[in-house]
Amino acid sequence: MRPALLIYCQHSMGLGHLVRSWAIADALSATFRVVFVSGGEPPAGMTPPPGVEMVHLPALQQTTAGEIVTAASDAGVAEIQQRRRARLRETFTAVNPDVLVVELFPFGRAKFADEIVPILELARARRPRPLVACSVRDLLAGGRKNQQQHDDRARFLADRYFDAVLVHADPRLARLEETFKPATPLQVPVLYTGFVTAAQTPQPGPSGPRSGVVVSAGGGRVGGPLLRAAADAQKLAPRSEREPMRIVTGPFLPDEEFADLIARVEGETDIAVERSVPSLRPLLAGAAVSISQCGYNTALELLQLRVPALVVPFADGREDEQRARARRLAALNSVRVLDPDDLCAERLAEAMGAMREFRPEPLLLDIDGARATRDAIEALHPTLGLAGVLEAGLAS
């Protein structure tokens, strides 16, 4: 019988956390029975990896202001939270995991501590105790008023409950300590897995010429301003100079904003709008230009495919992670950036015109993070593990 592994993931505004965690779950399913607990709104048109058992909590999401709100439910937040805590306890008990993986917490998702910490306590008290790992992206959001207090508490929780922190990044581009600065250094081992992407090998560019503009905004929940600006920018260009534009809004774009976008492009034969596609990758592979935000998954696909990319990072409130990623990539001449404060149809049209001359520099990164995550957990697992994992080169 395969050992059981339980993953907790709470996606809120976008799909990045879910997509990355699904890729990791897919790799882990080769060794473990993987049970995936999802706390966000299930995205229409997307399916989890085969062989991964899904448990959906009553959905909650977190706004850019940090407020917890319900997602399509007639119950209040407090009632939903109570249901979620009970479902989590039931799931943990039923699965009896040998490994527990918690995505982002305690480095983020502090508002969900009331449901996560009790599960960590159950794991800590159980004998034999399961391996407990944190799965975290390359860059953390900052800018909190109480940032130092937040980092210090996260450090305490990480050292108390976790056996390893798995950072899904190439340390040559991003390191945890750049966006996480507790007064006392972490004691729990920090392991860099490389970036996690569904396609684990770099892909060559298209054999023929690139054509068309692909506009995307991840899940779409906060993508409306970019999508509208792109549609309006396309209409500003002379028809003889336009590349066909395909706008993929994402499944979470509010219905009224989707309807507004359709109305904006009515009669424009070179602008196509659709909710979602099975994968953006084939569209990006042949595109002359990509216009997007700069989330983790989108950025990786742009780098792998070497598509000329203009990114407008999402930056609202303390959500500065995309802006930081965009600046790093722009400094390496891998993308071009339009500051979100400057987003309007006129500025976007100007930036789109300048993309005709842009050729992104190749950037070779470690992108086999899903497999490396599986290898790290296998190595750390008390029955599967290998002695000296830290000396094996996974840690930095």
Contact present, 327 and 299 (Cβ < 8 Å) = no
Contact present, 213 and 288 (Cβ < 8 Å) = yes
Looking at residue 317, its pLDDT comes to: 63
Looking at residue 239, its pLDDT comes to: 86
pLDDT in tens, 54-98: 999 999 988 777 788 886 667 889 999 999 999 999 999 999 999
C-alpha pair distances (Å), 348 with each of 170, 172, 227, 253, 324:
31, 31, 11, 20, 20
Please check whether the two domains, 4-197+367-392 and 213-357, share a CATH topology.
yes
pLDDT in tens, 189-222: 999 999 998 764 444 555 567 899 999 998 898 9
Mean pLDDT score of the chain: 90
Give the position of tokens 């500065």: 320
Looking at residue 44, its pLDDT comes to: 79
pLDDT at 250 over 80: yes
Looking at residue 144, its pLDDT comes to: 81
* Across 169-192, average pLDDT: 96
What percent of the chain shows pLDDT beyond 90? 76
pLDDT at 294 over 70: yes
CA distance 91 to 20: 22
Q: Which residues have C-beta within 8 Å of that of residue 284, sequence separation ≥ 6?
A: 214, 290, 301, 302, 305, 307
Specify burial of residue 88 (Cβ count, 10 A radius: 0-12, 13-18, 19+).
buried
Looking at residue 385, its pLDDT comes to: 56
CA distance 207 to 205: 6
pLDDT at 136 over 70: yes
Strand locations in the chain, DSSP E?
A: 4-9, 33-38, 52-56, 60-62, 68-70, 99-103, 131-136, 164-167, 190-192, 213-216, 245-248, 271-274, 289-292, 309-311, 336-337
Contact present, 152 and 182 (Cβ < 8 Å) = yes
DSSP tag of 340 = G
Q: Which fold has domain 213-357?
A: Rossmann fold (3.40.50)
Looking at residue 396, its pLDDT comes to: 44
Looking at residue 389, its pLDDT comes to: 39
Give the position of tokens 């993986």: 101
Q: Using CA atoms in the order 47, 50, 55, 57, what is the torsion angle rounded to 10 degrees? A: -20
Q: Which residues have C-beta within 8 Å of that of residue 305, sequence separation ≥ 6?
A: 203, 205, 281, 284, 285
Looking at residue 43, its pLDDT comes to: 85
266-284: string of b/e by CB count within 10 Å (b at 16+)?
eeeebbebeebeeebeebb
Nearest to 8 by CA among 105, 77, 80, 82: 105
Looking at residue 318, its pLDDT comes to: 65
* Across 356-368, average pLDDT: 90
Which residue ranges make up each domain of the chain? 4-197+367-392, 213-357
pLDDT at 391 over 50: no
* Across 274-296, average pLDDT: 93
pLDDT at 392 over 90: no
Give the up-direction half-sphere exposure of residue 313: CA atoms within 13 A in the CB hemisphere.
25
Looking at residue 207, its pLDDT comes to: 55
What is the distance between the terminal CA atoms of the chain, rounded to a whole angstrom? 33
- Enter the tokens of residue 283: 């569209």
Q: Which residues have C-beta within 8 Å of that of residue 133, sequence separation ≥ 6?
A: 99, 100, 101, 102, 162, 163, 164, 165, 166, 376, 377, 380
pLDDT at 301 over 50: yes
Contact present, 227 and 252 (Cβ < 8 Å) = no
| Check whether domain 4-197+367-392 has CATH 3.40.50.2000, yes or no | yes
* Across 216-242, average pLDDT: 93
Nearest to 396 by CA among 182, 135, 176, 200: 176
What percent of the chain shows pLDDT beyond 70? 93
Give the position of tokens 């207090």: 149
Contact present, 213 and 234 (Cβ < 8 Å) = yes
Looking at residue 66, its pLDDT comes to: 75
Q: Which residues have C-beta within 8 Å of that of residue 52, sequence separation ≥ 6?
A: 22, 25, 26, 29, 34, 35, 36
pLDDT at 153 over 90: yes
